[in-house]
Amino acid sequence: MAYGKMAAVYDRLMDDMPYAEWVSLAQEAWNHYGIHPCHIVDLGCGTGNITIPLASSGYRITGIDISEEMLAIAACKGEIAFGKSPRSLLTWSRQDMRKWTLPDQVHSVISFCDCFSYLLKEEELLETFRRCFEGLQSGGALLFDVHTIRQFGDYMEEQPFMLDDEDVSYIWSSEYDGAKGLITHNLSLFVRKEGARGEQQKEHGALPLYAKITETHRQRAYSTDWILQALRQTGFVNLLLGGDFEWGSYSEETRRLFVAAQKP
């Protein structure tokens, strides 16, 4: 599932996400494996909220996403951070994460913010693992996180989610199919149109105009055992687990599962 019109307000809606913690976790995993990646791929990079900070830390990184809208915003933010120099550490590529490819193998592949949870079939996730394995150099590491069944249960208990700001509001409801481990998020956003309320309108008490955006997102929760088996089947070794932004802390209460794996 690619973000469409919602891309324009994505950063506004997600500004409370702990992006710095994802960056720190990645660096901890690289230290664990004893590697300093010279070239990283960020799968499902979105608007670059993890990609750009890593590039700012001196890593060469390629952000890959299937959404043109998200990549356009990421590229704009990247230019603000680095300018338009062709020698920038930061590049962008529109590709499907299941089939991504680059001319050369890289030292690490990351995919955070539960991007792999959008792969709804086991074969899709296996295909992505295989592609990551093929795209990594020997000794390279794959790092990712996914939602757990516990997280989906929390969504159902806490929904609906609502936001009511002057410029953007949303209603977010969810439907969960426990038998299949699938959750469907239905989002209705109301985004204030620029220039929709001029001075003359204000004088006459006219209400501002809003554009309605609707999107449906589906995710799947895979069991930890299945994920580990699939990684080993692909050829990965030295598997590392974490939960809720801490390596080694996974339990049945974990809502966001972190996984690291190394190519021998």
DSSP assignments along 83-132, one per residue: TT-TT-SEEEEE--TTS---SS-EEEEEE-TTGGGG--SHHHHHHHHHHH
Residues 111-123 have pLDDT tens digits of 999 999 999 999 9
Residue 202, helix vs strand vs coil: helix
Q: Does residue 202 carry a pLDDT above 60?
A: no
**What whole-number percentage of the chain has pLDDT above 90?**
71
Residue ranges, CATH 2.20.25.110, the chain: 150-220
pLDDT-derived band of residue 1, with 50, 70 and 90 as boundaries?
low
Q: In the predicted model, what is the mean pLDDT of residues 178-184? A: 94
Q: Which CATH number fits domain 150-220: 2.20.25.110, 1.10.8.590, 3.30.360.10, 3.30.830.10?
A: 2.20.25.110
Let me know if 187 is exposed, middle or buried by CB neighbors in 10 A (0-12, 13-18, 19+).
Answer: middle
The whole-number pLDDT of residue 200 equals 46
Q: How many residues does the chain have?
A: 264
Q: In the predicted model, what is the mean pLDDT of residues 50-66? A: 96
* Cβ atoms 74, 216 nearer than 8 A: no
Q: Which amino acid is at 182?
A: L
Q: Does residue 207 carry a pLDDT above 80?
A: no
Residue 258, Cβ neighbours under 10 Å: how many?
25
Strand partners, 168: 191
Residue 2 to residue 56: CA distance in whole angstroms: 26
**Residue 242 has what DSSP assignment?**
E
Q: Does residue 92 carry a pLDDT above 80?
A: yes
Burial call 160-174: b when 16+ CB within 10 Å, e when fewer:
eeeeeeeebebbbeb
Q: In the predicted model, what is the mean pLDDT of residues 120-131? A: 99
Task: List helix spans (H) across the chain.
Answer: 7-13, 19-33, 51-56, 68-82, 122-135, 149-158, 199-203, 224-234
Domain 2-148+221-263 annotated CATH 3.40.710.10: no
Residue ranges, CATH 3.40.50.150, the chain: 2-148+221-263
Q: Does residue 201 carry a pLDDT above 80?
A: no
Mean pLDDT of the chain: 91
**Residue 198 has what DSSP assignment?**
-
Q: Does residue 198 carry a pLDDT above 60?
A: no
pLDDT-derived band of residue 205, with 50, 70 and 90 as boundaries?
low
The two most distant CA atoms of the chain are separated, in Å, by 70
The whole-number pLDDT of residue 12 equals 79
Q: Does residue 139 carry a pLDDT above 90?
A: yes
Q: Does residue 255 carry a pLDDT above 70?
A: yes
Residue 48, helix vs strand vs coil: coil
pLDDT-derived band of residue 16, with 50, 70 and 90 as boundaries?
confident
pTM of the predicted model as reported, rounded to 2 decimal places: 0.91
